Amino acid sequence: MQRHAAIWITGAFRTSPSGGAESIAGLIPIHLHLCKLAIRSSYQVSTLPSNHALQSLLSDKFSLNSSPHPQSLRFLTLAKKAKVKGPIIDVDNSLSHLSDSFSPFSSESKPGSHLMDIYPDSIHFHPCNRLDKHKTYKHVSSLNSVFSSSSSNRNCISVVTDASVPLVGSLQAVLVAHLYRGRRQVSHAKQASGQASSTDAELYSIRIGIAKAISLQCDHIILITDCLPAAKLAVDPSIHSSQSQSIQVCQLLSNWLATKPSCSINFWDVPSKWHWKPHLKVHNDITSTSIHAPSHTGATLDFLQHKSTNDCQKSWESTFWKKKYRGNGFLLSKKNHKFLIPTYIKGGMWLPLTNESPSLCACMTWAILNHALIGAYRERFFPLKPKSCGCGHRLETQHHILCYCPLHPIRTQWVQCAFPQYEFLVEFLKKNPATFTFTNHDTHPPPLQAPVPAKPNEGELYSFISSLLFSLESDLYV
Q: How far is the CB of 376 from Zn ion (least distance, A)?
A: 12
**Rounded alpha-carbon distances, angstroms, from residue 251 to 107, 114, 214, 238, 332:** 10, 10, 12, 13, 55
Using alpha carbons, select from 322, 319, 326, 230 the residue that is nearest to residue 270. Answer: 230
Q: How far is the CB of 389 from Zn ion (least distance, A)?
A: 3
What distance in Å separates the CA atoms of residue 473 and residue 90, rounded to the nearest whole number?
Answer: 61
Name the pairing type of β-strands 220-225 and 264-269.
parallel
Name which of 304 and 374 has its Cβ closer to Zn ion: 374
| H helix or E strand, kind and range, residue 187 | strand 184-192
Q: How far is the CB of 405 from Zn ion (least distance, A)?
A: 3
**DSSP structure string for 294-328:** PTT--B-HHHHHHHHHHHHHHHHHHHHTSHHHH-T
CB 61 within 8 A of CB 96: yes
Using alpha carbons, select from 230, 227, 226 the residue that is nearest to residue 207. Answer: 230
CB 68 within 8 A of CB 60: no
Name which of 218 and 389 has its Cβ closer to Zn ion: 389
Name which of 128 and 372 has its Cβ closer to Zn ion: 372
Residues in contact with Zn ion by the rule CB under 5 A: 389, 391, 393, 405
What distance in Å separates the CA atoms of residue 384 and residue 266, rounded to the nearest whole number?
Answer: 78
Residue 267 buriedness (CB in 10 A; 0-12 / 13-18 / 19+): buried
DSSP 446: P
Name which of 7 and 376 has its Cβ closer to Zn ion: 376
Within 209-275, strands assigned E span 220-225, 264-269
Task: Report which residue type is found at 135.
Answer: K
Using alpha carbons, select from 266, 172, 166, 270 the residue that is nearest to residue 221. Answer: 266
Name which of 362 and 376 has its Cβ closer to Zn ion: 376
Q: How far is the CB of 404 from Zn ion (least distance, A)?
A: 7
**Rounded alpha-carbon distances, angstroms, from residue 55 to 47, 61, 244, 446:** 10, 10, 20, 61
Name which of 69 and 393 has its Cβ closer to Zn ion: 393
Name which of 307 and 393 has its Cβ closer to Zn ion: 393
Name which of 391 and 452 has its Cβ closer to Zn ion: 391
Name which of 267 and 377 has its Cβ closer to Zn ion: 377
Q: How far is the CB of 23 from Zn ion (least distance, A)?
A: 28
Q: How far is the CB of 391 from Zn ion (least distance, A)?
A: 3
Q: How far is the CB of 407 from Zn ion (least distance, A)?
A: 5
CB 402 within 8 A of CB 428: yes
Q: How far is the CB of 333 from Zn ion (least distance, A)?
A: 21
Name which of 179 and 405 has its Cβ closer to Zn ion: 405
What distance in Å separates the CA atoms of residue 48 and residue 102, rounded to the nearest whole number?
Answer: 8
Q: How far is the CB of 425 from Zn ion (least distance, A)?
A: 17
Continuous H helices in 96-226: 115-118, 133-149, 198-215
Q: How far is the CB of 375 from Zn ion (least distance, A)?
A: 9
